A = this chain, B = another copy of it.
Amino acid sequence: MAKKVTLKDVAKHAGVSYQTVSKILRDQIQVTPEVRVRVQQAVEELGYRPNVTARSLRTQASHLIGYSWQPSRQNFFSPVLEEFEQSVVEAAERRGYHILLFPQREGIDSFKTYEELAYTGRVDGFILSDLGYSDPRIPALQALKIPLVAFGRTNCENRQFPFVDVDGRAGVRQVVEHLLDQGHQRIAVLGWPEESRVGTDRLSGYWDGMEAAGITVDRAWVKRRAGEYDYGYEAAHELLELPAKRCPTAIVTVFDLIAVGVIHAVEAKGLVVGHDIAVTGFDDVPMVPYLRPGLTTLRQPTWEVGQRTINILVNLLEGNPTDTQQVLLPPELIIRESSQGYYQPS
Contact = CB atoms under 8 A, between A and B. Distances in A.
Given A77-B286, A89-B103, A286-B287, A121 B83 contact: no
Contacts of A1: 60, 144-146
Nearest to A261: B290
Given A54-B57, A98-B101, A101-B101, A74 B64 contact: no
Contacts of A49: 115, 118-120
A68 to B, nearest CB: 11
Interface in A59-105: 60, 62, 64, 71-72, 74-77, 79, 82-83, 86, 89-90, 93, 98-103, 105
A51 interface: yes
Contacts of A121: 4, 51-54
A228 B257 CA distance: 22
Contacts of A64: 100
Nearest to A146: B1
How many copies make up the complex? 2
10 contacts: A53-B56, A77-B82, A82-B82, A90-B103, A93-B103, A98-B100, A99-B100, A100-B100, A260-B290, A285-B287
A343 interface: no
A119 to B, nearest CB: 6
A229 interface: yes
B83 A122 contact: no
Contacts of A56: 53
Contacts of A120: 4, 49-52
Contacts of A122: 52-53, 98
A116 to B, nearest CB: 9
A328 to B, nearest CB: 22
A277 B108 CA distance: 47
A229 B288 CA distance: 13
A178 interface: no
Contacts of A115: 49
A308 to B, nearest CB: 16
A71 B57 contact: no
